[in-house]
Amino acid sequence: MHFKDLNLIDPLLRAVEAEGYDTPTPIQQQAIPYVLDGRDMIGCAQTGTGKTAAFALPILQLLSKTPAQSQRRNIRALILSPTRELASQIGDNFTSYGRHTGLRAAVIFGGVGQTPQVDALKRGIDILVATPGRLLDLMNQGHIRLNALEIFVLDEADRMLDMGFIHDVRKVLKVLPPRRQNLLFSATMPRDIQELADSFLHNPAKVEVTPQATTVEKIAQSVYFVAKQDKRELLELLLRDKAIRRVLVFSRTKHGANKLAKQLTDGGIRADAIHGNKSQSARERALADFKAGRIRALVATDIAARGIDVDDVTHVINYELPNEPESYVHRIGRTARAGASGIAISFCDSEERAYLRDIERLIRLRVPVVEDHPYASNANAARPPVQERGPRPPRNSSPNGQNSRSSAPNSRSSGSSSRSSSSSSSSTALPSRSVARPGAGSSSSSSSKSSANYESPSTLSLLAESEGGREGGDAPRRRRRRGGGRGGGGQGGQH
The answer to the question of residue 167 being in a domain is yes
- Give the torsion sign (CA, 82, 86, 91, 97): negative
Beta-carbon contacts of 310 under 8 Å, excluding residues fewer than 6 positions away, are 246, 248, 287, 290, 291, 334, 337
Contacts within 8 Å (CB) and 24+ apart, 280-284: 280/84, 280/111, 280/112, 280/468, 283/85, 284/88
Instruction: Estimate the crossing angle of helix 10-18 against helix 84-97, to 10 degrees.
Output: 120
Residue 24 confidence (pLDDT) above 70 = yes
Residues 196, 235 share a domain: no
Mean local confidence (pLDDT), 391-413: 44
Domain stop point among 358, 381, 404: 381
- Confidence band (pLDDT; 50, 70, 90) for 437? very low
Residues 105, 175 share a domain: yes
Half-sphere exposure of 230 (CA within 13 A, CB side): 21
pLDDT tens string 136-173: 999 999 999 999 999 999 998 888 887 788 899 999 99
Residues 250, 142 share a domain: no
Residue 450 confidence (pLDDT) above 60 = no
Residue 166: its pLDDT value, please?
A: 87
Mean local confidence (pLDDT), 461-484: 40
The answer to the question of residue 228 being in a domain is yes
Write the CA distances from 57 to 11, 60, 110, 410, integer angstroms. 10, 5, 26, 85
pLDDT tens string 202-247: 999 999 876 544 555 678 999 999 999 999 999 999 999 989 999 9
Residues 165, 257 share a domain: no
Beta bridge partners of 43: 185, 207
Residue 394: its pLDDT value, please?
A: 52
Instruction: Give the whole-angstrom CA distance, residue 110 versus residue 138.
Output: 10
Residues 230, 181 share a domain: no
Helices (H), 293-338: 302-305, 325-332
Highest mean pLDDT among 272-276, 384-388, 486-490: 272-276
Instruction: Give the whole-angstrom CA distance, residue 355 versus residue 348.
Output: 9
Residue 179 confidence (pLDDT) above 70 = yes
The answer to the question of residue 297 being in a domain is yes
Nearest CA-CA partner of 32 in 66, 11, 9:
9
| Bigger pLDDT: 472 vs 274 | 274
Rg (CA), the chain: 26
Residues 226, 204 share a domain: no
What is the domain range of residue 321? Answer: 219-381
Mean local confidence (pLDDT), 384-394: 47
pLDDT tens string 329-384: 888 888 866 556 789 999 999 999 999 999 998 888 899 999 989 998 666 655 44
Residue 25 confidence (pLDDT) above 80 = yes
- DSSP secondary structure, 42-62, as one string: EEE--TTS-HHHHHHHHHHHH
The answer to the question of residue 481 being in a domain is no
Mean local confidence (pLDDT), 102-121: 93
The answer to the question of residue 474 being in a domain is no
Residue 105 confidence (pLDDT) above 60 = yes
pTM summary value: 0.59
The answer to the question of residue 354 being in a domain is yes
- Confidence band (pLDDT; 50, 70, 90) for 458? very low
The answer to the question of residue 487 being in a domain is no
Residue 431 confidence (pLDDT) above 70 = no
Residues 272, 154 share a domain: no
Residues 173, 28 share a domain: yes
Say whether 267 sits in a helix, a strand or coil: coil
Residue 180 confidence (pLDDT) above 70 = yes
Residues 167, 134 share a domain: yes
Residues 238, 169 share a domain: no
- What is the CATH number for 173? 3.40.50.300
Domain tally, the chain: 2
The answer to the question of residue 482 being in a domain is no
| Bigger pLDDT: 128 vs 463 | 128
Q: What mean pLDDT is reported for the chain?
A: 77
Residue 419 confidence (pLDDT) above 80 = no
Instruction: Give the whole-angstrom CA distance, residue 121 versus residue 355.
Output: 45
Q: What is the DSSP letter of 253?
A: B
Instruction: Give the whole-angstrom CA distance, residue 265 versus residue 339.
Output: 31
For β-strands 315-318 and 247-250, DSSP reports them as parallel
Residues 158, 278 share a domain: no
Domain stop point among 381, 404, 420: 381
Residue 370: its pLDDT value, please?
A: 93
Instruction: Give the whole-angstrom CA distance, residue 317 versus residue 315.
Output: 6
Residue 68: its pLDDT value, please?
A: 62
CB-CB contact of 62 with 101 (8 Å): no
CB-CB contact of 330 with 248 (8 Å): no
- Confidence band (pLDDT; 50, 70, 90) for 306? low
Domain stop point among 184, 208, 232: 208
Beta bridge partners of 221: 344
Mean local confidence (pLDDT), 82-87: 87
- Confidence band (pLDDT; 50, 70, 90) for 35? very high
Residues 282, 147 share a domain: no
